[in-house]
């Protein structure tokens, strides 16, 4: 697939004419990263904007006691690296390849030029940032819940939305992140995550299938815990 064809599938570029996509595509460089490779380091200077064309990355920060906390998982057609280009501060988080990943990159000046030249890109970017802010708000709210089963379920809903594929109301989360990652996100211990997954499995709400997790009825699951 050509770079311009990749861009056509990316929501923030999807409203552009083919001729404009070609112009932007010429400025992009493709890069590949292996699973586990660090792509961006928190606080480093931001010079580049990224679009994922295949694979997935995790957005992480280190807590005060050194635990890695996942803020989000981004997949195909998602972007990252825009924040430090917009506010001039250092990178707000680490980005690590969650699986082998291919990206397209744009330099800071080309990214800022794109926003000025094509307001449709700027509006789509703001829409996506609003979605991310809503998710963060929900996450902060969920951390105030005293009940750990609830916090874990909300973390699973987040992973289902970011990593899952839905078919007939059933969601499959491929390669569910480690129980320790879920625990760090939900503000609980790995043991509690293990116990809670078992309880939810006994209630026939979900199933662990190898490295995957299946939520049988995603709508019902969301209603129970949101
Ligand atoms: P930047 O700060 O340049 O580098 C780290 C990137 O992680 C950041 O831009 C965003 O693209 C991304 N990022 C930071 N926080 C979140 C979040 N809560 N959800 C999704 N992506 C994020």
Could you report the per-residue pLDDT of 84-101, keeping only the tens digit for each?
999 999 999 999 999 999
Q: Whose CA is nearest to atom 22 of ligand 1?
A: 59
Residue 205 exposure: Cα atoms within 13 Å on the Cβ side: 18
pLDDT at site 68: 86
Does the C-beta of 186 come closer than 6 Å to ligand 1? no
Residue-wise DSSP of the chain? --HHHHHHTSGGGTTS-HHHHHHHHHT-EEEEE-TT-EEE-TTSPP-EEEEEEES-EEEEEE-TTS-EEEEEEE-TT-EE-HHHHHH-S--SSEEEESSSEEEEEEEHHHHHHHHHH-HHHHHHHHHHHHHHHHHHHHHHHHHT-S-HHHHHHHHHHHHHHHHEEEETTEEEETTPPPHHHHHHHHTS-HHHHHHHHHHHHHTTSEEEETTEEEES-HHHHHHHH-
- Taking the C-alpha atoms of residue 180 and residue 10, their distance in angstroms, rounded to an integer, is 32
Ligand 1 contact, 59 CB (< 6 A): yes
pLDDT band, very low/low/confident/very high, at 64 (cuts 50, 70, 90): confident
CA of 43 to the centre of ligand 1 (A): 12
Partners of 164 in beta bridges: 173
| Ligand 1 centroid to residue 157 C-alpha, Å | 20
> Which atom of ligand 1 lies at the shortest distance from residue 59's CA?
7
Closest by Cα among 105, 121, 3, 89 to 49: 105
Report the share of the chain in percent with pLDDT over 70: 100
Query: Using CA positions, which residue lies closest to atom 8 of ligand 1?
Result: 81
Q: 226 pLDDT exceeds 80? A: no
Residue 199 has pLDDT above 90, yes or no: yes
- Say what the pLDDT of residue 1 is: 81
Find all residues with CB under 8 Å of 65, minimum gap 6, and list them. none
For the CA atoms of the chain, what is the radius of gyration?
19
* CATH entry 2.60.120.10 includes domain 3-138: yes
**Whether this model's pTM surpasses 0.85:** yes
CATH architecture of the domain formed by 146-225: Orthogonal Bundle (1.10)
Contact 114, 24 (CB under 8 A): yes
Ligand 1 and 164: CB distance under 6 A = no
- 91 CB near ligand 1 (under 6 Å): yes
User: Which part of the chain is CATH 1.10.10.10?
Assistant: 146-225
Please give the number of the atom of ligand 1 that sits closest to the Cα of 71.
18
Model pLDDT, residue 163: 87
CA of 217 to the centre of ligand 1 (A): 30
With a 6 Å cutoff on the Cβ, whether 72 touches ligand 1 is: yes
């Amino acid at each position: 697939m050509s770079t311009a064809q990749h861009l056509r599938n990316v929501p923030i570029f999807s409203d552009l004419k083919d001729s404009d996509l070609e112009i932007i595509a010429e400025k992009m460089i493709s890069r590949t990263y292996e699973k586990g490779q660090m792509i961006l380091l928190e606080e480093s200077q931001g010079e580049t904007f990224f679009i994922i064309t295949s694979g997935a990355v995790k957005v992480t920060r280190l807590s005060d006691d050194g635990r890695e906390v996942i803020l989000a998982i981004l997949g195909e057609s998602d972007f990252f690296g825009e924040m430090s280009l917009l506010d001039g501060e250092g990178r707000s988080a680490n980005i690590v390849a969650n699986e082998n990943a291919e990206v397209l990159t744009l330099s800071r000046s080309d990214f800022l030029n794109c926003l000025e030249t094509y307001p449709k890109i700027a509006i789509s970017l703001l829409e996506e940032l609003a979605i991310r802010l809503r998710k963060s708000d929900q996450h902060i709210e969920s951390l105030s819940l005293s009940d750990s089963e609830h916090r874990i379920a909300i973390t699973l809903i987040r992973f289902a939305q970011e990593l899952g594929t839905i078919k007939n109301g059933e969601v499959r989360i491929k390669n569910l992140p480690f129980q320790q990652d879920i625990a760090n996100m939900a503000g609980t211990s790995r043991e509690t995550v293990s116990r809670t997954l078992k309880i939810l499995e006994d209630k026939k709400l979900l199933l662990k299938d190898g490295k995957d997790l299946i939520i049988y009825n995603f709508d019902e699951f969301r209603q129970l815990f949101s």
